[in-house]
Structure 1
Amino acid sequence: MNDAGPLGRLARLAYRNRGRTVLAWLAALMLAAGLSAAFGGDYAADYSAPGSDSSAAEQLLRERFPAQSGEVVDVVVRVDGGVATAQGDVRALLDELSAAPHVAGVDDPFTAPGGISPDGGTLVAHLRLDVTNPNDMPHADTHRLLEIADAADRPGLDVALGGQAVALAEQGEIGSEGIGLLAAAVILLLTFGSVVAAGLPILTAVAGLAVSGTLTGLALRFVDAPDWSTALATMMGIGIGIDYVLLMVTRFREWRAAGLDPEAATVATLDTAGRAVMVAGGTVVVSMLGLFAMGLSFMRGAAVVTILGVFVVMAASGTLFPALLGYLGRHVDRLRLPLGRRRAAEVAVGGHIEPSRRWLAWSRFVQRHRVVSALAGVAILLALASPFLGVRYGFPDAGNDRVETSTRQAYDLQAAAFGAGANGPLVLAAELSRPGDVSALDGLRAALAATPGVAMVTPPQLNPAGDTAVLTVQPQTGPQDKRTEDLVHRLRDETIPAATAGSGATVRVGGVTASSIDSTENTARRLPLLIAGVVLLSMVLLLASFRSVAVAVKAAAMNLLSVAAAYGVVAYVLQGGWAGQLIGIDTETPLPSFVPVLMFAVLFGLSMDYEVFLVSRMREAWNRTRDNSRAITEGLAGTGRVITAAAAIMIAVFAAFVPSSNIVLKMIGIGMAAAILVDATVVRMLLVPSVMHLLGRANWWMPRWLGRILPELHVEGQPERHLPVPPEPEPETALAGAGSR
């Protein structure tokens, strides 16, 4: 047997030093935990668009109005007989709330402009917290505020709290890792029929997840990442960790059936399937690196946390997995479940494993009907993608929360009493040319009030230095309404320049609503950069892996179709119809612009995983037979079962996050589960083989000049190097054979 490649040699080293390898992983886990405990950072996310008008307004307010820069909790009170009849109860409630931890102060709604609704039945008071980031507010202290509000609530007097800190506390913990792991375990047991074989992917993925999860705290020391980024990294870590090891366990069993001993089978597995795993992981990393092109800090943070998880999983697949095989390799088929008779692996001529008859039958069916199969696959993907044409971008707010939450009740109470725009006021920061020079502010306020779409403008408030003023503009329409977006542009482009001309004052339009609009537009402008960069880099990686122009171009095109289909599913669910209600979306909900960006980066990488798994086996058969039809048939039949199982695991992991109360995770979960389902069925099992049958031998063509430039990765490995050498015939047998001739 010839020497193995680098991965094979690494596998042999880990196999022979399995005890040290396992101890090294335990030491890495303890070291990571210690470093994170000592130097770990906190979650932070800035969703504003860098360099935008709203970002400048926020920065100005933070510098000039530090007292108003803290997080705010809205206290909404509705009294049947009018708030004037319950003034004592309201003040007692506000006094108790102001005494709670982290509450720095509270406005007096009876004297503050706009504190009481026009009909006198509802008031809004603002609790100012001593934290600027809602993630820094302890959930226990927020729940204390909710308890005080619930105690004051009684028939005829309704109390509700709103604000981001309240929303985070009501969401609770993010993540459903246990559900995903349990579902993955069941699928693995059904796939392998053996507890040992099913346990190997789980053990490897959990070990990788434990190390990467503890390292996340250390990463937060250097990058700003949102709280949901760890849930995303967990999804990816569990999903790809189990999928990668699933592929290698399958290949290990094939090598054992081919007659290799456990150590040789381990080396052969890493030298063949291990190469595909590393290339697949590389495509995921390349896709996530595309998020850096967006220029958004929270995107970079989410990418860093996820890439960290992918790297750890790849390391576990290359070192911990072969070490575990050192202990369990001889017993990989032990503890079998009574799941009926299973076909024993048969070693065919040439050393490869004969695939199941069902997958061979399906592969030959696609070959016979390749034109119809290709057209049907494209039609299905386009039909699924069509709802995305009517998608509405924006940031979900409290109006999209569950009806039983306090934030949703506060939102509805404010909208009913003050108008839809009360939940999305625009905050204008005016920097004066000279301290105390307020001459331009009266004209500005009058011009703002006269602008179509404006319901109310509060009097300007000056900071102590007298060089900056704040005005609040309440639109007539809600924060998600297209007319509110038009109003923001009208104020910036027409009203404010005309009202401040010659005054020297600089006015910025900010607030949550304006920031959402700016972020959406900024992301839309940068999205083509992400798509072009990720697609180009992935194509280069596939060109080097498979030495084929057709494979690279086809993979990019089909992955784009797969991602578009996932977008369409998400858009359809967000319409709030029957499909949305199944997963807890009961009202029409806008799509945050960063969600399609994030989904694209993740899904393009995951789609490439299945492409690598499938085409690597096809190329292996092509190199052996030089028969295109046979290569496609054998590749599809040989990987159909493992891709189906891997996809089922990934779907279960992502679907486990659909019940989350976090709307972003809910969207990502349903979109990715749908995308993996479509990709593993319509794309990999139907569209890819049918198109490759149509292309014929052109599948494996690449210009010579390009072949000389690109490195050759040999992603399929060289399986023939690991086949057992037939035993030499005994001398007596050889002589007898010669005599008979």
Structure 2
Amino acid sequence: MATLLYRLGAFGARRWRTMVIGWLIVLAAVIGLGLTFGGSFQNSDSIPGSPAQTALTRMDRHWPEPDKQSAQVVFQAPPGHKLSEPGFQGPLRASLAAAGKVAGVTAVGDPAQDGMVSPDGRTAVAQVGFSTAKDSDVPTATLDALKATGATATKAGLTVVYGGDAYAPTTSPVGPTELIGILVALAILVITFGSLLSAGMPLLTAVLGVVGSMMATMGLASAVGISENAPTLAVMLGLAVGIDYALLIVSRHRAHLASGMPVGESVAKATATAGSAVVFAGATVLIALAGLSLAGVPMLTSMGLASAGAVAMAMIMALTLLPAVMSAFGRRLVPKPGSRAARTTHPARTTMGAKWVSGVLRHPVRYLIVVTVGLLVIAAPALQLKMALTDDGSNAKGTATRQAYDTIGHAFGPGANGPLIVLVEGADAKATAQTAAAVKQKLKGIDGIADISGIDTAKDLDAARIQVIPTTGPRTQATSRLVSRLNEVTGPVARHSGSYVAVTGQTAVSIDVSTKLSGALVPFAVVVVGLSLLLLLIAFRSLAIPIKATAGFLLSVSSAFGAMVAVFQWGWLADLLGVPSLGPVGSFVPIIVMAVLFGLAMDYEVFLVSAMREEYGHRKDARRAIVVGARNASRIVTSAALIMIAVFVDFVFGKDPDVMPIAFGLAFGVLVDAFLVRMTLVPAVLALLGDRAWWLPRRLERFLPHLDLEGESITAGPDGADRIPTRDGLESESVAR
């Protein structure tokens, strides 16, 4: 692999103008296609073929409804008053009549006829339908005009709140907080390199990679369904890994230049050595993200594949465009003599990382015990991790949808925000009616039910449905248990009558998705652990290194889960972080955090341990290899981790309830993995193992492919030029400028 990357870097160094112009043309074409054919992202959390989704599809055939956007208008009288009072009835009716005349509004429900007046008579909910398609945004002018119709009711003393899908807050993948993250990343790069020019190159390639991947995702959205959360996750990961991968290559290039190596050779060799680590690290992230599709949830699949595309673009940019840019700037990237950046490239330098690792080596057992016990304590809350899909109750309290959600919950009970429907399909009208009556009788007396509606029979008389209002909210475990109980109770009725009976509704569909994702977490973890063992076994040709790295990853991800429970379920630091609501984390959050953190943990493992392995291969001194490897790689690992954390933290403050726990879990997991696991536990364990850390049975060694992460296949010839292997031996690759 190093040989191929050397040739790629050499080509980029020689033909940097061609490479830069070619990339600009490609990016312009992708942007043009994305803007021209870009589709809309979907707000869908269903699983095709799941019991609740299948029943929902069958119900839609009997009660066809237009696939259009909808909203809710909630009217509430002051405390101690009712909407039926004469002073409120007229203004309420006038507001509803005015709402029906708004351009783009197709239907306005009557709360009294629809049974949407609270038992105390103080609150009423009117359903509003729009002409806008379900997956499209209702024009702002229409939403504002609808809000204006409530002025009459408001003047009469009523409180009017607007909620529902049409008023759901929209979040942009990139906003002001993300721009702050980029500036923080730039500051870290400037401190790392001591040069604004060198610091700007990783940002340049990362931003261009994110732009290209996002435009491609927009274009694909017109042909395939992509979750509305996919772009935000892809931008977050693409930006973070794009900066980190370029940071590794640029830092290696500057070290070569500081030693006097010609620009062309330096670019080629940096691409071959650091680029090999980038390919390996990026491949682990890609495999983990693509593996999310194994859960069988379309929403999660689109998020994983979109993010994998962003990571792939970051890798390609780092291996092709970045060498050309480095070559274009020539020796202007050489650290200035006497500068801090120049001192860090000196072979005899002593870095903070080397000092820290030296301290760990003096007391390896102490550090191993203290850090491991500390991380296990942090991970303990993960045992209480609860998962559910987010809904309007997860939004910030100041949003219209959250206000409507809370008002309905207080007036009608928490279950009103997530009603369940029992669908009955019989062989004929008589069988349907008899089965529906039997089902309704069975529902009486079941704990957890607040209200049971009458039997609603379809126009074709072949189906009937009964609405069930739980006593608990849609995201609670109690509602999930109620769905299971309803299926148990109605099952015998269906078998006895020969009819089709199923529990459905959006709440039941969400519970199916959550159950599916929860069940996929453990098998996915087994796959990830097995994959990490195999990849690291090939990369480092050692038995101890993969086991140690995998154990460290499990500590990191468990700590991330524990921290998420403390913040998003228990409320620790929730106000400081702006967490909109406490409760179960999104069902897709743990599996995404595990997948991404796995790839990032392998990044740091490769960056750090490959430097140690390179030194051990030269001198066969295990203790010296740990110190020298840490001296060579710790600065890059810590800088990369700080950049990752800065990017993720900014997405925490983006206030998206779906993205916040993911960003927080990744930020905390990277903090733990880079500074406690890789920079502390890894040196401690390697020091205790000594030479045994690098041992591999000879029989196993013969079967493993050789992965050259440090460019060992590239040797220097008598003339000082690098030589790379060919079929006929060694060939001198002259790329010096």
Distance 2:165 2:495 in 1: 37
Determine helix, strand or coil for the equivalent of 1:657.
Answer: helix
Q: How far did 1:450 drift?
A: 3.0
Partner in structure 2 of residue 11 of structure 1: 9
Distance 1:364 1:658 in 2: 35
The alignment status of 1:528 with 2:530, answered yes or no, reads: no
Corresponding residue of 2:105: 103
Aligned partner of residue 18 in structure 2, secondary structure: helix
Task: Identify the residue that residue 480 of structure 2 maps to in structure 1.
Answer: 485
Q: Which residue of 2 aligns with 1:734?
A: none
**Once the two structures are superposed, what CA deviation does each residue of 1:284-342 show, in whole Å capped at 9, x if it has no partner?**
11111220210111111111111111111111111111100111131115799xxx952
Equivalent pair of 2:426/2:462 in contact (CA under 8 Å): yes
- Shift of the 146–391 alpha-carbon distance from structure 1 to 2, 3 Å rule, reads farther
Instruction: Letter of the 1:429 partner, please give it.
Output: L
Question: Matches of 1:399 and 1:718 in 2, distance apart?
Answer: 56
1:389 and 1:150 map into 2 onto residues whose CA distance is 50
1:358-377 equivalences in 2 (<5 Å): 358-377=352-371
| 3-state SS, counterpart of residue 226 of structure 1 | coil
Q: CA deviation at 1:48?
A: 2.4
Change (3 A) 1:59 1:609: same
SS of corresponding position for 2:340: coil
Q: After superposition, where does 1:392-541 map in structure 2 within 5 Å?
A: 392-435=386-429, 437-494=432-489, 496-500=490-494, 502-541=496-535
CA distance in 2, matches of 1:573, 1:385: 13
Match of 1:737 in 2: none
In the other structure, the counterpart of 1:571 is 565
Hey, what does 1:275 align to over in structure 2? 276
| Cα 1:373/1:329, change in 2 over 3 Å | farther
- The CA RMSD measured in Å over matched residues stands at 2.5
Aligned counterpart, 1:709: 703
Matched, 1:623 2:617: yes
Q: Which residue of 1 aligns with 2:575?
A: 581
User: Amino acid of the residue matched to residue 445 of structure 1?
Assistant: K
Q: Which residue of 1 aligns with 2:256?
A: 255
- For the 8 Å contact 2:236–2:648, the answer to whether it is kept is yes
1:311 and 1:666 map into 2 onto residues whose CA distance is: 24
* More divergent stretch after superposition (293-302 vs 525-534): 525-534
Q: What does residue 732 of structure 1 align with?
A: none
Mapped to 2, the partners of 1:561 and 1:26 lie a distance apart of 43
- Residue 464 of structure 1 and its aligned partner are, at CA, apart by 2.7
For the residues of structure 1 that align with 2:345 and 2:634, how far apart are their CA atoms? Answer: 18
Map residues 106-255 of structure 1 onto 2, 5 A cutoff. Answer: 106-112=108-114, 114-130=115-131, 133-138=134-139, 141-149=142-150, 152-154=153-155, 156-169=157-170, 175=175, 176-255=177-256
Aligned-residue offset at 1:646:
0.8
Return the letter of the residue paired with 1:87: Q
Task: Specify the code of the residue in structure 2 equivalent to 1:630.
Answer: R
Shift of 1:278: 0.8
**5+ residue gaps, structure 2:** 722-737
How much does 1:622 deviate? 1.2
Q: Which residue of 1 aligns with 2:61?
A: 63
> Which whole-Å deviations, capped at 9, do the CAs of 1:107-150 have from their partners, x for residues lacking one?
211112x3211111111121234456355545554454445447
Structure 1 282/148 Cα, relative in aligned 2: closer, same or farther at 3 Å? farther
Q: Distance in 2 between the 1:403 and 1:155 partners?
A: 25
Give the stretch that moved more between structures: 611-620 or 503-512. Answer: 503-512
Distance 1:14 1:330 in 2: 16
One-letter amino acid matched to 1:188: L
What SS does structure 2 have at the residue aligned with 1:693?
helix
Whether contact under 8 Å (1:449, 1:455) holds in the other structure is: no
Distance 1:25-1:475 versus aligned 2 partners, 3 A rule = same
Q: 1: distance between equivalents of 2:99 and 2:377?
A: 53
**Cα distance in 2 between the residues matched to 1:138 and 1:553:** 55
Per-residue deviation, 1:682: 0.4
| Structure 1 partner of 2:314 | 313
Q: Residues 192 and 346 from structure 1, CA distance in 2 versus in 1: closer, same or farther, beyond 3 angstroms?
A: closer
Classify 1:709/1:100 alpha carbon distance in 2 versus 1 (closer, same or farther; 3 Å). Answer: farther
Structure 2 contact 75–161 (Cα < 8 Å) conserved: yes
Aligned equivalent of 1:657, options 630, 634, 651: 651
- Aligned position for 1:47: 45
Q: What TM-score does the superposition give when structure 1 sets the normalisation length?
A: 0.91
**Which amino acid in the other structure matches residue 105 of structure 1?**
A
1:23 aligns with 2:21: yes
The 3-state SS of whatever aligns with 2:497 is coil
1:197–1:333: 8 Å Cα contact kept in structure 2? Answer: no
Q: Which amino acid aligns with 1:525?
A: G
Report the Cα distance in structure 2 between the residues aligned to 1:147 and 1:304, rounded to whole angstroms: 42
Question: 1:735 matched to which residue of 2?
Answer: none
State the shift of 1:719 in Å.
8.5
Report the equivalent of 1:84: 84
Shift of the alpha carbon at 1:578?
4.3
Q: Classify 1:416/1:358 alpha carbon distance in 2 versus 1 (closer, same or farther; 3 Å).
A: closer
The 5-angstrom pairing of residues 317-332 of structure 1 reads 317-332=318-333
Identify which range, 227-236 or 471-480, moves more after superposition.
471-480
2-structure distance, mates of 1:10, 1:590: 48
**Structure 1 pair 212–272 and aligned structure 2 pair: CA distance change class (3 A):** same
Residues 578 and 300 (structure 1), Cα distance of their counterparts in 2 relative to 1, 3 Å cut:
closer
AA aligned opposite 1:537: L
SS in 2 for 1:110: helix
User: Contact between 2:421 and 2:503, CA under 8 Å: does it hold in 1?
Assistant: yes
Query: Are the aligned partners of 1:68 and 1:128 in contact in 2 as well (CA < 8 Å)?
Result: no
CA distance in 1, matches of 2:396, 2:364: 47
1:618 alignment partner, SS class: helix
> How far off is 1:490 after superposition?
1.1
Deviations 1:23-67 (A, max 9, x none): 111111121123323443331253224433211222113333222
Q: Write the letter of the residue equivalent to 2:710.
A: E
Maintained 8 Å contact 1:149/1:161: no
| Alpha carbons 1:453, 1:475 under 8 Å: kept | yes
Tell me how many residue pairs correspond in the alignment.
715
Provide Cα deviations, 1:540-567, integer angstroms capped at 9, x if missing partner: 2222211112112221121111011111
Q: 1:183 to 1:346 in 2, by over 3 A?
A: closer
The one-character-per-residue Cα deviations of 1:157-211 (angstroms, maximum 9, x if unpaired) are 0111222332234x56765432221111111112111111111111111121121
Matched-pair contact (CA < 8 Å) for 1:460–1:469: yes
Q: Which residue of 1 aligns with 2:342?
A: 344
Amino acid aligned to 1:683: V
Kept in 2: contact 1:94–1:106 (CA 8 A): yes
Change (3 A) 1:24 1:99: farther
- Summarize deviations over 1:457-514 as a string: whole Å, max 9, x none: 22222333222223211112222333222221111102x2344453333122112322
Tell me the SS of whatever aligns to 2:159. strand
Q: Does 1:670 align with 2:674?
A: no
For structure 1, the 5+ residue unaligned runs are 728-741
Counterpart Cα distance in 1 of 2:141 and 2:307: 29
Distance change (3 Å), C-alpha of 1:146 and 1:606:
farther
> Counterpart of 1:29 in structure 2: which amino acid?
L
Code of the residue aligned with 1:310 in structure 2: it is: V
| Native 8 Å contact 1:77 1:160 kept in 2 | yes
Q: Which residue of 1 aligns with 2:726?
A: none
SS of equivalent residue, structure 1 residue 624:
helix
CA distance in 2, matches of 1:68, 1:445: 28
608-617 vs 385-394, which deviates more?
A: 385-394
The one-character-per-residue Cα deviations of 1:93-113 (angstroms, maximum 9, x if unpaired) are 22333334543322211112x
In the aligned structure 2, how far is the partner of 1:379 from the partner of 1:722? 47
| Cα deviation 1:615-653 (Å, max 9, x = unaligned) | 111111111111111111111121111111111111111
